[in-house]
């Protein structure tokens, strides 16, 4: 029997919102826990207390002021996880600068778009990472760089960009070394930063993050201190974080997962931030957890899968682990159960949200029943409103599927310099649409059914891949499965499953189909099964289903018979 209660929820809490800036949050925590571990980066030899971190942040903030970077100007960072990223995150906030997160996987065209869109005055860059030679790309993009005096770049292409800062000890024409920044400051600049303390407001924009859209140019989500400080604080409460916790952060800092749910969340609760490596390496994560006694681990589902499949996994104790967040993509039930059982993450949570909502709106709690923590994304966080609507924008009854919309302190004010896209995203009542199809039950727990754009229609039947994936994950040979729709002359679309098998396991397409028949509706049984060693993914570990669809469509056009 369907409920008449509308699918609308709002989070309540005895804890009020924090009226703090990002820098103010760090100052409070450093005053409360000065000797507690704050930042641990073994691969860089860094082990700082909160007193140490606060000191470095103040030094670099004064240095930014000495370099004539003014409040409201944008400073970009194009680098993987490192101590410099964390110092920049908090020092730029202390100096009133707006930090622009640039994806380490970006190439020339994407970097150019990011710099031009945000009008960065300064760019912090590492020399190279993985296959990317950042210096070579910058020299191609900005020919004037090689002849420029450090700190005095003058380029017609990016008129606001005047300062290039390089991580590491090696000199490079046109760049100033990042570690030289504090040496530029004197007492005047220190006082300048101190005076700013009373001028900066928590509603000021502080961070710009580019959404990884699959069509069109990325959108520059602009977040305020209020958005991300409070999101980090309330997310930490769900995990019961404290100064006793040590969080391993293998997710990238350029993304909300790293810099809000990771570092900022730790600072909000006095926990230690631990970087296992510059980029994600599953074996390094496991070694670091044991070596540092980490109690918290974050990751997207593909990261946890990779960690579970490390050959030396059985040699790792991981007994210090307690909680963490799995998010960033649908979290398979079977994977959650394995992580809880085999990685000792008995209190792991699932979080859901979007960059534009700072980012989390729903999260399970460590106190939720296990079944709720593996099958839902929890209940709405405090001080946030959610409604589920139909195609006409009307709120649907509890239990009925519709699009999820969010309102509250967490919603960004706008896309940077883009009023047209902002108006399309946020309505007059300040609701922002997610593009996700969800249900909310009578107890307020939310289940994400799927993405509107991922939904496929086979012979008039609406099918969400998530349901099929959840069932196929129960097959003992399956390590990972992703379901997509591919064109079909008779039915419009057919179901296609890409499957990565566990090491040492085998299966055929017919076996997978037989496993599904009689257990899920006949029209959901995959017509095509393709076995793969890897999936096309973003740098944050999200599977790019649109690329899978393109690849599979091309393959079927050349060979229309079943695969597998």
- If one looks up domain 22-31+44-210 in CATH, what number appears? 3.40.50.980
Average pLDDT of the segment spanning 427-446: 96
Considering the entire predicted model, what is its pTM?
0.88
Given this model, what pLDDT does residue 457 score?
80
Given this model, what pLDDT does residue 214 score?
44
Q: Where are the alpha helices (DSSP H) in 245-314?
A: 256-258, 265-269, 282-292, 301-308
Give 117's pLDDT tier (boundaries 50, 70, 90): very high
Beta-strand relationship, 414-415 and 402-408: unpaired
Given this model, what pLDDT does residue 285 score?
98
Distance CA 385, CA 411 (A): 10
Given this model, what pLDDT does residue 458 score?
87
Closest to 203 measured CA to CA, from 223, 231, 232: 223
**Does residue 2 register a pLDDT over 60?**
no
For residue 260, the 8-state DSSP code is I
**Does residue 422 register a pLDDT over 90?**
yes
CATH of 455-558, one of 3.40.50.740, 3.20.20.80, 3.30.300.30, 3.20.20.140: 3.30.300.30
Question: Over the chain, what is the mean pLDDT?
Answer: 94
Distance CA 304, CA 248 (A): 13
CA dihedral 389, 216, 259, 114 (to 10 degrees): -150
Q: What per-residue string of b and e applies to 515-549 under the rule 16 or more CB within 10 Å gives b?
A: bbeeebeeebbbbbbbbeeebbebbbbbbbbeebb
Q: How many CB atoms lie within 10 A of CB 71?
A: 14
Give 212's pLDDT tier (boundaries 50, 70, 90): low
Tell me which residue has tokens 């039930």. Answer: 333
Given this model, what pLDDT does residue 121 score?
98
Tell me which residue has tokens 């996994």. Answer: 313
State both tokens at 372.
Answer: 């709720």
Domain ranges in the chain are 22-31+44-210, 455-558
- Enumerate residues 6+ apart whose C-beta is below 8 A from 404: 386, 387, 388, 433, 434, 436, 437, 438, 446, 448
Task: List pLDDT tens digits, range 478-516.
Answer: 999 999 999 988 888 899 999 999 999 999 999 999 999
Task: List pLDDT tens digits, range 365-397.
Answer: 999 999 999 999 999 999 999 999 999 999 999
**C-beta separation of 275 from 33 below 8 A:** no
Q: Where are the alpha helices (DSSP H) in 382-448?
A: 419-425
Given this model, what pLDDT does residue 485 score?
92
Closest to 192 measured CA to CA, from 53, 70, 19: 70
Chain centroid, CA 69 distance in Å: 28
């Amino acid at each position: 029997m369907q409920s008449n209660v509308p699918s609308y929820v709002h989070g309540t809490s005895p804890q009020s919102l924090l009226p703090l800036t990002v820098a103010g949050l760090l100052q409070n925590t450093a005053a409360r826990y000065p000797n507690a571990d704050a930042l641990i980066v073994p691969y860089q030899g860094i082990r700082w207390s909160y007193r140490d971190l606060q000191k470095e942040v103040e030094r670099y903030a004064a240095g930014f002021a000495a370099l004539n970077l003014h409040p409201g100007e944008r400073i970009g960072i194009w680098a993987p996880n490192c101590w410099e990223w964390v110092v920049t995150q908090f020092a730029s906030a202390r100096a009133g600068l707006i930090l622009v997160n640039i994806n380490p996987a970006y190439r020339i065209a994407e970097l150019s778009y990011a710099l031009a869109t945000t009008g960065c005055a300064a760019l912090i860059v590492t020399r190279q990472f993985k296959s990317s030679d950042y210096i070579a790309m910058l020299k191609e993009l900005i020919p004037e760089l090689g002849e420029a005096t450090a700190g005095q770049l003058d380029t017609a292409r990016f008129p606001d960009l005047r300062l290039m800062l390089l991580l590491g000890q090696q000199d490079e024409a046109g760049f100033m070394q990042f570690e030289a920044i504090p040496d530029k400051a004197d007492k005047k600049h220190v006082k300048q930063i101190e005076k700013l303390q009373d001028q900066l407001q928590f509603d000021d924009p502080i961070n710009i993050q580019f959404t990884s859209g699959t069509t069109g140019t990325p959108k520059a989500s602009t977040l305020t201190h209020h958005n991300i400080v409070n999101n980090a604080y309330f997310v930490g409460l769900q995990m019961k974080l404290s100064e006793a916790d040590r969080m391993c952060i293998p997710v990238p800092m350029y993304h909300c997962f790293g810099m809000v749910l990771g570092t900022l969340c730790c600072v909000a609760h006095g926990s230690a931030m631990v970087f296992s490596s510059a980029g994600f390496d599953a074996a390094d994560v496991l070694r670091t957890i044991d070596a540092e006694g980490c109690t918290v681990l974050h990751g997207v589902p593909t990261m946890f899968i990779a960690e579970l499949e490390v050959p030396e996994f059985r040699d790792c104790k991981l007994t210090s682990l307690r909680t963490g967040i799995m998010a960033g993509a649908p979290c398979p039930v079977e994977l959650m159960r394995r992580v809880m059982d085999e990685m000792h993450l008995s209190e792991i949570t699932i979080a859901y949200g979007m960059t534009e909502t700072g980012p989390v709106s729903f999260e399970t709690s460590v106190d939720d029943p296990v079944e709720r923590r593996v099958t839902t994304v929890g209940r709405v966080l405090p001080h946030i409103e959610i409604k589920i609507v139909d195609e006409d924008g009307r709120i649907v009854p509890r239990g009925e599927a519709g699009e999820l919309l969010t309102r509250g302190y967490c919603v960004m004010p706008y896309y940077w310099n883009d009023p047209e896209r902002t108006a399309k995203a946020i309505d007059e009542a300040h609701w922002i649409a997610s593009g996700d199809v969800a249900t909310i039950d009578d107890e307020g727990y939310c289940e994400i059914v799927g993405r509107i754009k991922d939904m496929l229609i086979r012979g008039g039947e609406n099918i969400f891949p998530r349901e099929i994936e959840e069932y196929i994950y129960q097959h003992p040979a399956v390590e990972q499965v992703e379901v997509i729709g591919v064109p079909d002359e008779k039915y419009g679309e057919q179901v296609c499953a890409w499957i990565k098998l566990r090491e040492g396991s085998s299966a055929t397409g017919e076996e997978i189909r037989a496993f599904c028949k009689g257990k899920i509706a006949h029209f959901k049984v995959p017509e095509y099964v393709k076995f793969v060693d890897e999936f096309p993914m973003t740098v944050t570990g999200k599977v790019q289903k649109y690329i899978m669809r393109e690849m599979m469509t091309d393959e079927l056009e050349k060979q229309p018979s079943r695969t597998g």
